[in-house]
């Protein structure tokens, strides 16, 4: 095993960032292809930047974000946060008491790790399932959670979404929706309503997923609950700072649905190309992916690496040899090790899909060569 714990994951992320820095310094930004689907854009004009003072910034940009944010998310009030994870933590700190139950329905396990971690922090009993028939709400439940679109972009069925909200509301239990990518994927590609319009009490999205914004969390929902959550957010320093609020605002204003719709059709072309060489690629709504288990199935050699290790090593080969950024190399601890090639963001627009397929093929061939040598694999990652 190469990656054994959260510290290893922090270390491999540091390594990935230093490789990225090297590529930018030596060959320029245009030699990098960020296919993560998380672009972390920062759109701002000089006159806006000059207003980014501690109190002036929020006075101007937070007020405008209320309107623009409600347009994007629905709900009665908007709360900008440092990350989606911060919003999840704050909601659980505010609404969940010790020993009560939190139940979570999602289309496909696993849940984002911030959800179980926050529940364990407050001493709540946490249950999650991706089998709708097995979802139930026990006595003493303080919060019901629904994930709109999972980390690997599996989107919830709209009828099941409605039923979970109905079950919770029959018992007067609030519903929080983790709509990190779902706020755009569900609505634009799958034509589902906004989470708040489906009755969610709280919904949170990530402003760098499938939109040209910075990494940050945008929460929307019932005003009374947002106010309660906002207290925790301010007490623990989880709020978005003025620069983030400005970039979120401009990210939402510049969100272009046609990019998502175009990637929805282009991904089939990439999938066809890859499927003539490999058997385990799958489509996502806006690209293709291969899970760690699928990758293990493609490798025919004796080795001692875990399935996740294989994904980490491949992600580093893609980065080092081809400048292709995928999530496993750069992710935070506990994130999914599935390798996704997302076609919805800027770097993908001008990419020739035949070339991309060749680069992916040669990277998997390289993995096949090095996998028998664990030390060499460790060197690639660290």
Ligand X SMILES: *Cc1c(COP(=O)(O)O)cnc(C)c1O
Q: Give the footprint of ligand X on this chain (CB under 6 A).
A: 83-85, 112, 147, 150-151, 178, 180-181, 206, 215
Min separation Cβ 159 and ligand X, Å: 20
Between 192 and 206, name the residue whose CB sits nearer to ligand X: 206
In the complex, minimum distance from the CB of residue 222 to ligand X, in angstroms, rounded to a whole number: 20
Please report how close the Cβ of residue 273 comes to ligand X at its closest, in angstroms.
26
Report, in Å, the least distance between residue 122 CB and ligand X.
18
Q: Scan for tokens 């040598």, then name that residue.
A: 373
Locate all alpha helices (DSSP H) within 222-336, ordered by sequence: 223-235, 242-253, 257-275, 292-298, 307-322, 327-330
Taking the least distance from each CB to ligand X, the nearer of 85 and 100 is: 85
Note whether 35 and 343 are within 8 A (CB): yes
The answer to whether the beta carbons of residues 106 and 336 sit under 8 Å apart is no
Q: Which is nearer to ligand X, 220 or 296 (CB)?
A: 220
Cα 94 from Cα 78, distance rounded (Å) = 16
- Least distance (Å) from ligand X to the CB of residue 302? 35
In the complex with ligand X, the residue whose CB is nearer, 85 or 291, is: 85
Give me the least distance between CB of 132 and ligand X, in Å please. 18
Judged by beta carbon, residue 85 or residue 308, the one nearer ligand X is 85
Which lies closer to ligand X via its Cβ, residue 84 or residue 259?
A: 84
Length of the chain (residues): 382
**Closer to ligand X at the Cβ: 147 or 345?**
147
**Smallest distance, Å, CB 279 to ligand X?**
26
SS (H, E, C) the chain: CCCCCHHHHHHHHHHHHHHHHHHHHHHCHHHCEECCCECCCCCCCHHHHCCCCCCHHHHHHHHHHHHHHHHHHCCCEEEEECCHHHHHHHHHHHHCCCCCEEEEECCCCCCCCHHHHHHHHHCCEEEEECCHHHCCCCCCEEEEEEECECCCCCECCHHHHHHHHHHHHHCCCCEEEECCCHHHHHHHHCCCCCCHHHCCCEEEEECCECCCCCCCEEEEECHHHHHHHHHHHHHCCCECCHHHHHHHHHHHHCCCHHHHHHHHHHHHHHHHHHHCCCCCCEEECCEEEECHHHHHHHCCCCCCCCHHHHHHHHHHHHHHHHCEECHHHHCCCCCCCCEEEECCCHHHHCCCHHHHHHHHHHHHHHHHHHCCCHHHHHHHHC
**Closest to ligand X by CB, 147 or 363:** 147
Q: What is the smallest separation between the CB atom of 371 and ligand X, expressed in angstroms? A: 29
C-beta closer to ligand X: residue 32 or 177: 177
Instruction: For the CB of residue 29, give the shortest distance to ligand X in the complex, in Å.
Output: 22
Q: Which is nearer to ligand X, 100 or 338 (CB)?
A: 338
Minimum CB separation from ligand X for residue 84, in Å? 3
Whose CA is closest to 68, among 169, 268, 211, 182?
A: 211
């Amino acid at each position: 095993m190469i990656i054994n714990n959260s510290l290893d994951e922090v270390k491999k992320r540091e390594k990935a960032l230093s490789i990225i820095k090297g590529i930018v310094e030596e060959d320029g930004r245009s030699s990098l292809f960020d296919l993560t689907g998380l672009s972390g854009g920062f759109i701002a004009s000089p006159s806006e930047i000059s207003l980014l003072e501690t109190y002036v910034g929020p006075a101007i940009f937070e007020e405008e974000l209320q309107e623009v944010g409600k347009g994007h998310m629905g709900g009665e009030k908007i709360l900008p946060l440092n990350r989606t994870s911060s919003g999840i933590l704050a909601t659980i700190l505010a609404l969940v008491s010790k020993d009560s139950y939190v139940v979570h329905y999602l289309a496909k396990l696993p849940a984002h790790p911030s959800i179980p971690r926050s529940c364990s922090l407050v001493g709540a009993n946490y249950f999650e399932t991706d089998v709708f028939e097995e979802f139930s709400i026990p006595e003493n439940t303080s919060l019901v959670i629904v994930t709109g679109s999972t980390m690997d972009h599996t989107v919830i069925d709209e009828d099941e979404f409605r039923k979970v909200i109905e079950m919770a509301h029959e018992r007067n239990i609030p519903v929080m929706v983790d709509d990190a990518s779902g706020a755009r994927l569900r609505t634009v590609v799958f034509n589902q309503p906004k989470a708040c319009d489906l009755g969610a009490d709280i919904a949170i999205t990530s402003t760098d997923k499938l939109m040209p914004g910075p990494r940050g969390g945008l929460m929307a929902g019932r005003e009374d609950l947002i106010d309660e959550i906002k207290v925790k957010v301010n007490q623990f320093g989880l709020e978005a700072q003025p620069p983030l609020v400005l970039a979120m605002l401009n990210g939402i204003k510049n969100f272009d649905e046609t990019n998502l719709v175009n990637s929805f059709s282009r991904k089939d072309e990439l999938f066809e190309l890859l499927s003539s060489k490999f058997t385990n690629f799958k489509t996502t709504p806006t690209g293709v992916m291969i899970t760690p288990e699928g990758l293990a199935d493609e490798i025919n050699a004796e080795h001692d690496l875990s399935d996740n290790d294989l994904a980490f090593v491949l992600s580093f080969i893609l980065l080092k040899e081809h400048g292709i950024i995928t999530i496993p190399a750069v992710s935070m601890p506990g994130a999914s090790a599935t390798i996704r090639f997302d076609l919805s963001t800027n770097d993908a627009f001008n990419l020739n899909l035949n070339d991309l397929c060749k680069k992916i093929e040669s990277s998997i061939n390289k993995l096949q060569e090095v996998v028998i040598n664990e030390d060499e694999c460790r060197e690639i990652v660290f």
